[in-house]
């Protein structure tokens, strides 16, 4: 029932391009969340405290969910191991990883496009120093 309503709301037919307000609100939040669980439309935020939590992050990616990983709660050695493991997982599913801050990474499966880039302040300073030397 929910899927039929969503298909109707998002069909290519110009008459049905915009669903009515009643159709929009007839889908409860619980139903929408259940549908998101099935289709992998979630953004998961994770702060692993040990390398052993890497597999849980990989499982989210396999289920087509995007994951923001904050590595500030692990040692630098553990962070390196986690990044190495996730890099292999992401490669195997055709996804992408992008650094969005110091120790914070956005990991996405193949079904998600990432647009734009966040530059690192350290990278900006390094580039400015290089420009001065030239």
Structure-block tokens of residue 18? 């915009």
Q: Indicate yes or no: pTM above 0.85.
A: no
pLDDT digits (tens, 9 = 90+) for 30-55: 676 666 666 668 999 999 999 999 99
Average pLDDT over residues 1-30: 56
pLDDT, tens digit, for every residue of 69-108? 999 999 999 999 999 999 999 999 999 999 999 999 999 9
Kindly give the pairing relationship between strand 96-101 and strand 104-108: antiparallel
Per-residue pLDDT band for 134 (boundaries 50, 70, 90) equals very low
Share of the chain above pLDDT 70, in %: 60
Measured CA to CA, the distance from residue 93 to residue 126 in angstroms comes to: 33
Q: Radius of gyration of the chain from Cα atoms?
A: 20
Question: How is the chain split into domains, by residue range?
Answer: 1-39, 40-111
1 C-beta neighbours (distance < 10 Å), count: 8
Tell me which CATH homologous superfamily contains domain 40-111. SepF-like protein (3.30.110.150)
């Amino acid at each position: 029932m929910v899927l039929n309503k969503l298909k109707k709301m998002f069909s290519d037919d110009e008459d049905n391009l915009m669903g009515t307000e009643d159709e929009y609100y007839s889908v409860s939040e619980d139903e929408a969340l259940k549908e998101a669980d099935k289709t992998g439309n979630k953004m998961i935020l994770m702060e692993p405290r040990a390398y052993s939590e890497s597999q849980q992050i990989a499982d989210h990616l396999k289920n087509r969910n995007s994951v923001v990983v904050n590595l500030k709660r692990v040692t630098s050695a553990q962070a390196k191991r986690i990044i190495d493991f996730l890099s292999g997982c992401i490669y195997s599913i055709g996804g992408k990883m992008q650094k969005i801050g110091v120790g914070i990474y956005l990991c996405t499966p193949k079904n998600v496009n990432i647009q734009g880039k966040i530059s690192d302040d350290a990278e900006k300073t390094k580039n400015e120093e290089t420009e001065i030397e030239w």
